[in-house]
Amino acid sequence: MTAMTAKTQYARTVAALAALTLLALPAVGDAQSARTSSNQPIAFGADTGEQSAERISLRGRAEVTQGQNRLRAEAITLFRNAAGDPERVEATGTVYFVTPTQSMRGDRAVYTLSNGELVVTGNVILNQGKNVLTGGRLVYNVNTDAANMSGAPRGGTAGSRIQGVFYPNGTN
């Protein structure tokens, strides 16, 4: 690839990423209406990125934010529908998902925007204040804050059980 072709391709990629970001921003009237978390604008960043009509791939310190929720991982792919709108986000590597009230960690995550469902798998840790819950698979809804944890990975010290520590109100 020649230097001019590489520069042109880089400029096109940056322009496409900027255009997608602008399309995700709310219209003036949207800012005043109540919206669920999964309907808010999506912003992203990474060390490198590629885009096509079907997806945007982010690598190296990849991060996607939506409202007050933040997804960080080594690699994140945003899949788009035929209209070019984001519909699913997949994250791999060490994955962190942080909300104002909870944080989750796992090896892989899939976030479906249409229903606000985030599925985190692989050595999952859910923190809510001082409370901690561990397992192998977490289904979390960003719109309702509902979380459902299932068993630890096979062969783990806990077998297939979830484990947790909860602190009642007023406990230090």
For 146-162, what is each residue's pLDDT tens digit? 999 998 655 555 567 89
Q: What is the pLDDT of residues 97-128, one digit of tens each?
A: 999 999 999 999 999 999 999 999 999 999 99
Q: What is the mean pLDDT of residues 50-60?
A: 95
The amino acid present at 164, given as its one-letter code, is G
pLDDT in the model for residue 38 = 72
One-letter amino acid of 54: E
Secondary structure of residue 41 in the 3-state scheme:
coil
Query: pLDDT at position 170, please?
Result: 63
Give domain limits for the chain.
Answer: 3-28+40-165
What is the SS3 assignment for 147? strand
In this prediction, residues 5-18 reach a mean pLDDT of: 41
How far is Cα 50 from Cα 76, in angstroms, rounded to an integer? 11
pTM: 0.73
Taking CA atoms, 73 is separated from 67, 70, 109, 157, in Å, by 18, 10, 9, 26
Report d(CA 134, CA 143) in Å as an integer: 22
- 58: amino acid identity, one letter: L
Asked whether residue 133 carries a pLDDT value surpassing 90, the answer given is: yes
Instruction: State the pLDDT at residue 3.
Output: 46
List b or e across 94-113, with b for residues whose CB sees 16 or more CB atoms inside 10 angstroms: ebbbbbeebebbbbbbbbeb
Q: What are phi and psi of 126, to 5 degrees?
A: -115, 125
* Matching CATH number, 3-28+40-165, of 3.30.70.360, 2.60.450.10, 3.40.50.1370, 1.10.10.10: 2.60.450.10
Task: Determine the pLDDT at residue 169.
Answer: 81
Alpha carbons 47 and 145: distance in angstroms, whole number: 30
